[in-house]
Structure 1
Amino acid sequence: MKSVRLLFDKMAEMFPVTGHYLRPDAEIAHSPVFESAVVKVSRGTEADLTPQESQALEPFQLEAAAADPAASSRGSRAWTRARSAEDFATVLLQSRPAPDQVAPRYEPIVAAIPPTSNLCERLFSQCKLVMTPHRASLLPMNFEMIVFLQTNRKFWDANTLMRLDVDDTDDN
């Protein structure tokens, strides 16, 4: 999640028009406080947690660390166009300094929480592309089926459809 947040922040900095959609408290974020807390823990800046963020992470707190609030800080992230021979994300993620080694205060699962916002953004963008004016009269169930099949295209092909038993649909 911290990598995605880093990429989103840099994109918003480079292209300000995207800031509304990529900011940490965007409408698409289910729990902005929790997401912010996870990013801070992943970065190693637990000292910067607000009381609300600490409360959101309370279920993940290790019992031994509850009495010892150790924290570390990180340096600034720099990205230069001189290294732009590689792709944007690779250069930006490799330019981060290594975090200080500190005894963890939270369960290791907190650092492994995947971002959902980028998956949702991609799905909604695909829906917007599918929902053209000539498809506006589709029933929601049919639209959902089209989007589901497009999203999961890697799991099926024409041969899969040909193997389906057509007799099951003719029973009506």
Structure 2
Amino acid sequence: MSKALNVKPSAQLRTLTLDAHQKILKAKKDNVTRWTSTMDMVRRYLRIKDELSACNGLEDYVLSGRENQVIKEAAKSFHTFNMITVEIQAKGMDLLDVREQFDTLLSHEKYKMMDTYLGQKAKIVESPDFEVGCIKVMRGEPSTLTEEEVAAIAKLKRKSITSNAPEATAELDVDQKLAFNTKRRKVKMNQKLRRDRGPEESPFLDIKMIVSATSNCCERLFSEAKYVMVPHRRGMSPILFESLLFLKKNVEYWNVKTVGDAIQNSKRDKRDDDDFLRKASKVVCRILRNATIIHD
């Protein structure tokens, strides 16, 4: 395909594709930073392979029938991979959803060899016990956890409200102690209602809210950065740029009131970076007003 991008073959290809498809279709090259570019290149080749064969100067590079068959088979796999790639980049995807997609793919005989990279115990996984433990908890199967998995996710356990109660309430006055007892009673009532309605509550926190899809967020972050780093903001400092993107990715946790409080706090702060804080607050307000434009 790179040869078809040369000046003369490219001109011929534009004419041939315009006649055959009523639109100009250029040859595509793969990009080493995105595997989807390989899929796009293969799709484009299969669509214009007849026109490529008719271009002068490309006769020595035309693929054989056997090679074309291999390309067609690869295109089917590329379609499958692209479905998963798009799905796991969707908003709201969590560890369990991704695991189910990978397990579905690995259950097919054709893709079992990918278990080395996509399996639960793959060598590239930093902590297999932690990942498997999180998945079991998210599936509602905490009773199936092994000792290693329990130890790996120990920090995700819920803290009992009755633990250390005497120490926690020792310094409270009477009204506060009474309020604390009322709150504890309501919690116990809610727990009893949940037990009556269904299975016992998991001893672990809501992992979906804690263990986020890090690579997913990073991928979106890189895609959205261009909306912030426009030409007239080239002089923006790295720390301010990082702060804006952090706020953008966590937009559901703050609002106009949060920005107002930050501005008021910055006015009371007499440090040397007051000017920076004021500028940052103004930019945050502007980004907030434009959030609907750059938000997914």
What's the TM-score once normalised by structure 2's chain length? 0.30
Q: Bigger relative contact order, structure 1 or 2, given CA contacts below 8 A and separation 6+? A: 1
Give TM-score, length-normalised by structure 1: 0.48
